[in-house]
């Protein structure tokens, strides 16, 4: 834990500390969640993989949108970032029909007010990516909202800007990842405003925890897709007859090793940087 820093928030697998009035430290742990439950077993280096990937994308998308990254610490899992005034919406972009998007489409033919063609199957690629904002639920799951409600929450012109920027970021990363054998089915961004009221991308971005990563070679629309990173852990959990409530099960060593290898593989495929080089000097992802 950083010294002389106040804990200002935590997610399921990350912690946020205040460094001073203007800067925060975002620390990614090695904890993993499956079926929305954090497991008691950690995946070594998972936090470093996610921090490195996020830094990689921040460096490559600066022309699309400014971001909160100031520096990566030598531990590879901690990011110094600018303190922002965060917007009260989750900015989700979907290029494929999965998760709550698939559920909503099945029930209503639409996702967050986007009416989609009839007859789409689960995991189908959409003709164009769609922006599907959600509210930050204080407990449980985020709630999908339509653009009228989201525009009420942040104002119309800012809403139009975050929607456009979110789609542009997703298109950029999804195209890049697809060429490296990874489908980014959907992703969630969080934005804030800086002291000059400029829109700034915050949080982590385009990681397997904030997105659905699928192995492109195994893509078969018509059902759920395997997760690039979490499938071993999920498959193992499914063998146990666990009811998916707290507490989650311990993972055996082979499942930990297999899962770690998938995270590292995602990092190396997307960045084309050896993970050992990242460990030696995290700033390599920013070059």
The residues binding ligand Q0N (CB under 6 A) are 9-11, 14, 16, 24, 26, 68, 81-84, 86, 190, 192, 202-203
Smaller CB separation from ligand Q0N, 81 or 251: 81
Nearer to ligand Q0N, 85 or 218 (CB): 85
- Minimum Å gap between C-beta 51 and ligand Q0N is 11
Closest to ligand Q0N by CB, 82 vs 149, is 82
Residues 73 and 79: their CA atoms lie apart, in Å, by: 6
Task: Give every CB contact of residue 266 below 8 A, 6+ residues apart in sequence.
Answer: 49, 53, 182, 208, 213, 228, 229
* Smallest separation, CB 164 to ligand Q0N (Å): 21
CB of 25 to ligand Q0N, least distance (A): 10
| 84, 195 contact by CB (below 8 A) | no
The answer to whether 164 and 127 have CB atoms below 8 angstroms apart is no
Residue with tokens 């497991």: 39
Q: Which two tokens stand for residue 185?
A: 């089915």
CA-based max dimension of the chain: 56
Closer to ligand Q0N at the Cβ: 86 or 273?
86
Scan for tokens 């990566």, then name that residue: 72
Dihedral class, residue 119 (left if φ above 0, else alpha if ψ from -120 to 50, else beta): left
Residue 9's CB is within 10 A of a number of other CB atoms, namely: 11
Task: Write down the least CB distance from residue 190 to ligand Q0N, Å.
Answer: 6
Among residues 15 and 104, whose Cβ is nearest to ligand Q0N?
Answer: 15
Give least dist CB 14 to ligand Q0N, A: 4
């Amino acid at each position: 834990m950083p010294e002389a820093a106040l804990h200002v928030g935590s997610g399921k697998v990350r912690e946020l500390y205040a460094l001073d009035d203007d800067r925060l430290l975002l620390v990614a742990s090695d904890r993993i969640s499956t079926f929305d439950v954090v497991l008691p077993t950690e995946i070594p280096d998972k936090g470093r993989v996610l921090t490195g990937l996020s830094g990689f994308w921040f460096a490559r998308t600066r022309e699309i949108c400014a971001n909160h990254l100031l520096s990566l610490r030598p531990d590879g899992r901690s990011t110094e970032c600018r303190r922002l005034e965060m917007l009260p919406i989750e900015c989700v972009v979907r290029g494929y029909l999965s998760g709550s998007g698939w559920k909503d489409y099945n029930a209503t033919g639409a996702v967050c007010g986007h009416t989609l063609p009839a007859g789409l199957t689960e995991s189908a690629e959409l003709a164009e990516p769609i922006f599907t904002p959600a509210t930050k639920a204080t407990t449980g799951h985020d709630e999908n909202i339509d653009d009228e409600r989201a525009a009420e929450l942040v104002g119309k012109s800012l809403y139009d800007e975050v929607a456009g920027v979110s789609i542009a970021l997703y298109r950029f990363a999804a195209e890049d990842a697809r060429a490296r054998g990874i489908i980014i089915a959907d992703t969630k961004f969080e934005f804030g405003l800086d002291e000059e009221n400029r829109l700034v991308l915050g949080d982590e971005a385009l990681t397997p925890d904030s997105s659905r990563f699928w192995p492109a070679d195994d893509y078969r629309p018509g059902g759920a897709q395997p997760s690039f990173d979490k499938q071993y852990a999920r498959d193992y959990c499914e063998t146990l007859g666990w009811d998916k409530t707290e507490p989650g099960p311990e993972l055996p060593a082979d499942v930990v090793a297999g899962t770690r290898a998938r995270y590292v593989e995602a990092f190396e495929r997307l960045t084309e940087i050896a993970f050992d080089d990242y460990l030696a000097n995290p700033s390599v992802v920013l070059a």
